[in-house]
């Protein structure tokens, strides 16, 4: 199953499909109520796809929810392990849509796709949006609590990879943040020593849609060089926009890179060397 799906795909109209609208920010629910795809359940990046950090120095600003909490959330959305899930957000998958895609894949859920272009694609296609507060029926049986989020690395492994010539750490933040010229969110500016910069925005065209898979392949192959995909770690500020690049890589047939969830928000608070 392709990780991306187009807005005109018949699967979006299938009543068995679970559609999830992911929003972020203090006004997330209000924006959802202002217009969303029909029968799309609301998901909050901060409340559903992460847990409140006890200390961002240990886990970053968006640590993953416990496996038990995530399974409970999926149950409340009506999901079963066999459900076809289609995800989108209002930021072209850059602020939550790709994160939920990655989380589902990380617990072994196979049938999950992201709307290419997100909410804008729906608006461009003239789809009539809904303003109801859609509440699906919970699944009849609890979603099984998974054993782990696969494909993650901790701070120590990210540090080791950045110092290893046979491995690679990719920082997907804007170049100005990577270079330490500005830091609008975290406490310290800079980057992990040895990390390479590949801004996630390069995944998209001007229309907010992912580039064709052939162009994405060229982009990533040029960035990775001789580094094997399984030796690649991707991070961002807090483990969210990095998933946008992981989704793009999957669309290009590159599925082995891992996510450093704590990302810069964790690294910069631990008093480590700054690049």
Is the distance from CB of 232 to CB of 171 less than 8 angstroms? no
Alpha-carbon 93 to chain mean position: 7
Q: How confident is the model at residue 238 (pLDDT cuts 50, 70, 90)?
A: very high
In terms of pTM, does the model score above 0.95?
A: yes
Tally of CB atoms within 10 A around 8: 11
**Residue carrying the six token digits 């200390």:** 55
Q: How confident is the model at residue 125 (pLDDT cuts 50, 70, 90)?
A: very high
The CATH class for the domain spanning 152-267 reads: alpha beta
Residue 5 pairs in a beta bridge with: 115
Q: What is the pLDDT of residues 258-267, one digit of tens each?
A: 999 999 999 9
Structure tokens at 234: 């991707």
Q: Report, as residue numbers or ranges, the catalytic residues.
A: 236
Do domains 4-124 and 152-267 share one topology? The answer is: yes
Q: Give the mean pLDDT of 205-232.
A: 97
Quick one: pLDDT at residue 272?
73
Res 31 pLDDT > 70: yes
Quick one: pLDDT at residue 34?
98
Res 170 pLDDT > 90: yes
Print burial letters for 192-216: b (CB count within 10 Å at least 16), e (below 16).
Answer: bebbbebbbeebbeeebbbbeeeeb
Domain spanning 4-124: CATH superfamily: Rhodanese-like domain (3.40.250.10)
Please report, for the chain, the start and end positions of each structural domain, with discontinuous segments joined by +: 4-124, 152-267
């Amino acid at each position: 199953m392709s990780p991306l799906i187009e807005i005109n795909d018949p699967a979006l109209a299938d009543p068995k499909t679970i559609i999830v609208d992911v929003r972020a920010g203090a006004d997330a629910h209000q924006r959802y109520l202002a217009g969303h795809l029909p029968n799309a359940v609301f998901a909050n990046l901060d409340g559903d796809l992460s847990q409140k950090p006890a200390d961002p120095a240990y886990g970053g600003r968006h640590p993953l929810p416990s496996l038990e909490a995530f399974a409970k959330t999926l149950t409340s959305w009506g999901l079963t392990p066999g459900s076809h899930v289609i995800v989108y957000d209002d930021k072209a998958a850059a602020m939550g849509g790709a994160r939920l895609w990655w989380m589902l894949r990380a617990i072994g859920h196979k049938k999950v796709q992201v709307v290419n272009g997100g909410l804008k694609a729906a608006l461009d296609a003239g789809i009539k949006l809904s303003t109801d507060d859609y509440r699906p029926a919970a699944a009849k049986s609890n979603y099984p609590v998974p054993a782990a989020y696969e494909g993650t690395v901790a701070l120590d492994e990210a540090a080791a990879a950045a110092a290893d010539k046979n491995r690679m750490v990719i920082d997907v933040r804007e170049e100005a943040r990577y270079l330490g010229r500005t830091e609008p969110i975290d406490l310290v500016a800079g980057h992990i020593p040895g990390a390479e910069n590949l801004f996630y925005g390069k995944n998209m065209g001007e229309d907010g849609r992912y580039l064709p898979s052939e162009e994405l392949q060229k982009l990533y192959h040029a960035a990775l060089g001789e580094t094997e995909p399984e030796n690649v770690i991707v991070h961002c500020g807090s483990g969210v926009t990095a998933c946008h690049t992981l989704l793009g890589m999957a669309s290009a047939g590159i599925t082995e890179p891992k996510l450093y969830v704590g990302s810069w928000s964790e690294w910069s608070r631990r008093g480590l060397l700054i690049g």
